[in-house]
Amino acid sequence: MPAGIIRRIAILPDAVANQIAAGEVVERPASVVKELIENALDAGARHVRVAVENGGKTLIEVADNGGGMTRDEAILSLDRHATSKIHAVSDLVGIATFGFRGEALPAIASVSRFTVCSAIHDGDGAEVSVTGGRLDQVREMPRQRGTTVTARALFYNTPARRKFLRSAASESRAIWDATSTLALSHPDISFELLLDGRHRLIVPDGQSLDERLAAVWGADVVRTLIPVEFAVGGVHITGFAQRPADAQPTGRRAQLLVNGRPFRDSFLVRAAEAGYRSAIHPGDRPSLFLHVQVDPGEVDVNVHPAKLEVRFRDRFAVERAVEEAVRNALGRLDAAATVGDAPLMAPRPVWRAAPPEMPTDLFAPLTDNVGTPGLLTNPSADPGQFVGPALLQLADTYLCYESPDGLVIVDQHSAHERVIYEEVMRHLRSEGLPAQRLLLPITIELTDEELDVVASHGEELRQIGYEVEPFGGRTVAIHGVPNPHPRFAAAACFREMVADLARGRFGGWANRLERFAATYACRAAVKAGQTLDERSMRELLGRLFACELPPHDVHGRSTIVQLPTTELEHRFGRR
């Protein structure tokens, strides 16, 4: 503005105001598609058809069989702040619909050649045409009940906005993402998406959630998911989480819903990932589909122009519920890896007011009731031996037994690793573990990096039972050692654990205590190739199934693998 010229305050013309609103609501063609589909869903549509050409730059058409509009309502819908969703200030609390601002249609119409054709009864409809926000014509148009909205030449009158659109392929991918997201949130409604005349998505109505996920995400992904259902207080979490063994560093899919509304929230995704702690390799990103159901008055959906974000009244309660929901799902046996296809079975809801009390003393000196050394026997606080069918140790590494649904195979090292990890974590947070005093100390020479590890982890070493003190130079003397099982080599475990910590082998762990406990559990557990008697096997399984997350070890690998009877029947041609 030239110096000395003062602009006076004035009311913006409607055309300018609509284009400003378009800048917030209509970011790209996918934004138009999202707004129009949401309007269709709010109108009670059972079928939504989307047709797009040239990435939405040339044509966007969304047709539905919802409640429709009269001629006068169709005209009124193109005025700013005209909406059927709210009528009073009190309606802004506990909004249960998708759209509510009344800006989407006039904003889209202001930057396109726009047509809305609608009818509330078959054969009785009207068509309203608008160009760049200016009303062109209104005419009678017989049609079936529902609404069809067409936007052509998007941003034709705002070339600066059109210039910043991406390629047709990129815009088409964004439209597919927007459509598929809404299709996932409404598996009971049929959707159809055509990109440049070719069907890219066709899903029928009445599908279950896992069927809709398979249609949108692919059957291969869905086979890696396990059901999530959990409730605490006023928060109810449902959906699916990926088995830790199937998570990868890339290719993750994550979808959140709140009361049926898709939204984005990186903090809730992190809370879900926190439920995977000690069950997944650091850096892996599991796929998630989680539906958060709360009282509508406990969530504000009116905080983002494009309705992509929400605000919870008690965010921390929701984050805790999400984390515990995922944790609970991963602790069930169906979270274990399977051979072949396993059906997704919905669990019964779990209502919990607080986390369960954990056993207080599962790491006492290991002798059985008759004084014979055992692998995992603790008479003072025994969670119970594994009671069930006959056990078989295969290749001195895998414990096998029959379950009602097939064959269960347990990796003895991974299982013991999980047991030790959870026991150590409980004791690291409390008084520590009892040490076994040595008559003659063990002296070990370390590198400078390993000496730094011993110095920085002295308290943790003491809490798990290692009593270590400097002996001169690079040598340390060990006067006390832990006693996790008779085959435990205390000196070798100490060397390997300190070397792992010095090399950062477990460096992906965010929590220092978890990193330390995982390193120790890996080195202290019984190894593959060690023969176990039946009592030891049963006690190992008893301890494993008393853990919080029995199906997974601390590296994210499977502790348990299931071979369903159906898969055996398929392999032997019985199905």
Q: How many CA atoms lie within 13 A of 169 on its CB side?
A: 0
Inter-residue contact 340 to 321 (CB < 8 Å): no
Token digits of residue 216:
């949108």
**Mean pLDDT, rounded, for 6-16:** 61
pLDDT at 375 over 60: no
Identity of the amino acid at 218 = G
Of the candidates 129, 179, 137, 138, the one whose C-alpha atom is nearest the C-alpha of residue 29 is 179
pLDDT at position 48: 97
379-562: CATH, from 3.30.70.60, 3.40.50.970, 3.30.1370.100, 3.30.390.50: 3.30.1370.100
pTM of the predicted model, to two decimals? 0.77
Q: How far is 12 from 20, CA to CA, in rounded Å? A: 10
- Mean pLDDT lowest among 36-40, 45-49, 242-246, 364-368: 364-368
pLDDT at 117: 96
Instruction: Please compute the mean of the pLDDT values over residues 138-145 and round it to a whole number.
Output: 92
pLDDT of 356 over the 50 cut: no
- The CATH architecture that domain 221-336 belongs to is 2-Layer Sandwich (3.30)
Beta-carbon-side half-sphere exposure of residue 386 (alpha carbons within 13 Å): 25
Q: What are phi and psi of 229, to 5 degrees?
A: -150, 120
Highest mean pLDDT among 328-332, 499-503, 506-510, 518-522: 328-332
Which of 236-240, 379-383, 487-491 is predicted least confidently?
379-383
* CA–CA separation, 256 and 312 (whole Å): 14
Rounded CA separation 484/376 (Å): 8
Grade residue 85 by pLDDT with cuts at 50, 70 and 90.
Answer: low
Please list, in sequence order, all residues whose beta carbon lies within 8 angstroms of the beta carbon of residue 397, skipping any fewer than 6 positions away. Answer: 411, 412, 413, 528, 529
Answer whether residue 433 shows pLDDT above 70. no
Q: How far apart are CA 162 and CA 28, in angstroms?
A: 9
Mean per-residue pLDDT, 28-55: 94
The pLDDT of 246-252, averaged and rounded, is 86
The candidate with the shortest Cα–Cα distance to 545, out of 393, 394, 426, 376, is: 376
CB-CB contact of 490 with 442 (8 Å): yes
Percent of the chain, pLDDT > 90? 37
The amino acid present at 488, given as its one-letter code, is: F
Residue 464 confidence class, pLDDT cut points 50, 70, 90: confident
Question: Quick one: pLDDT at residue 14?
Answer: 62
Q: What is the 8-class DSSP label of residue 223? A: T
| pLDDT on residue 556 | 79
DSSP per-residue codes, 235-281? EEEEEEEE-GGG-BSS---EEEEETTEEE--HHHHHHHHHTTTTTS-
Statement: residue 561 has pLDDT above 90: no
What is the C-alpha separation between 216 and 486, in angstroms, rounded?
Answer: 52
CATH number of 14-206: 3.30.565.10
Confidence of residue 344 (pLDDT cuts 50, 70, 90): very low
Is 571 in a helix, a strand, or coil?
helix
| Arithmetic mean of pLDDT, 278-295 | 90
Of the listed ranges 167-176, 304-313, 320-329, 369-378, the one predicted with least confidence: 369-378
Q: Sorting pLDDT into bands at 50, 70 and 90, what band is 174?
A: very high
Closest to 166 (Cα-Cα) out of 341, 324, 28 = 28
Rounded mean pLDDT, 430-440 = 77
Q: Where are the domains of the chain?
A: 14-206, 221-336, 379-562
What is the 8-class DSSP label of residue 323?
Answer: H
The answer on pLDDT for 74 being more than 80 is yes
The answer for residues whose C-beta is within 8 angstroms of residue 482's C-beta and 6 or more apart is 433, 435, 436, 464, 465, 466, 488, 490, 524
Amino acid at 563: L
